[in-house]
């Protein structure tokens, strides 16, 4: 092998080595950002799950309030009290519907976060999304009872 060929080969090897180092550095940066994105998605999913659970609880409590108001009206059996209690029960029912909508919105946000994280194979977010969906079902059921 002559000297010129050896110099060209060494130059090419040096160039390839520099490219590999640049690719490795790029990979490390992408990997770091990926880990940060997963952590953010996990946090977002946990927050939206909590919102969905709280909205479901609010809807259930509104349903209980509506039922208690109706029971009080029946027990009192006085027309003005019944009218006032029915109005309170209607307000509680509307609050339950609002809570159900909030639960649905929180569940949708949790599902969106979970879908993004699921794309990145994050199992915890999938579980939280399922729990948010269950909370939405609870809120919807409670809103139906309150209405």
pLDDT for 35 beyond 80: yes
* Closest by Cα among 49, 45, 86 to 66: 86
Tell me which DSSP letter residue 8 carries: H
pLDDT at residue 145 in the model:
61
Residue 11 counted as domain residue: no
- How much is the pTM? 0.53
Number of structural domains in the chain: 1
Residues 6+ apart with CB under 8 A from 46: 128
Give the residue, 130 or 12, on which the prediction is more confident. Answer: 12
For every residue of 105-128, which 3-state class applies, written as one string? HHHHHHHHHHHHHHHCCCHHHHHH
pLDDT for 44 beyond 70: yes
Residue 32 counted as domain residue: no
pLDDT per residue as tens digits for the range 82-97:
777 777 777 777 777 7
Interval 8-13 mean pLDDT: 87
pLDDT at residue 36 in the model:
82
Residues 6+ apart with CB under 8 A from 65: 92, 95, 146
Taking the C-alpha atoms of residue 62 and residue 91, their distance in angstroms, rounded to an integer, is: 9
| Residue 94 belongs to domain spanning | 40-146
Residue 76 counted as domain residue: yes
Residue 8 counted as domain residue: no
pLDDT for 122 beyond 60: no
Residue 14 counted as domain residue: no
Residue 6 counted as domain residue: no
């Amino acid at each position: 092998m002559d000297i010129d060929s050896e110099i060209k080969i060494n130059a090419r090897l040096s160039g390839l080595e520099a490219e590999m180092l640049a690719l490795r550095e790029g990979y490390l940066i992408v990997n770091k950002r990926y880990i940060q994105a997963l952590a953010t998605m996990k946090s977002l999913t946990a927050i939206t799950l909590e919102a969905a659970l709280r909205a479901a609880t609010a809807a259930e409590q509104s349903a209980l309030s509506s039922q208690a108001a109706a029971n009080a009206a029946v027990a009192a059996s006085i027309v003005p009290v019944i009218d006032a209690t029915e109005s309170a029960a209607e307000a509680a029912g509307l609050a339950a519907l609002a809570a159900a909508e909030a639960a649905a919105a929180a569940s949708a946000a949790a599902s969106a976060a979970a879908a993004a994280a699921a794309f990145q194979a994050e199992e915890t977010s999938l579980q939280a999304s399922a729990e948010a969906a269950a909370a939405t079902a609870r809120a919807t059921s409670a809103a139906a009872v309150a209405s």
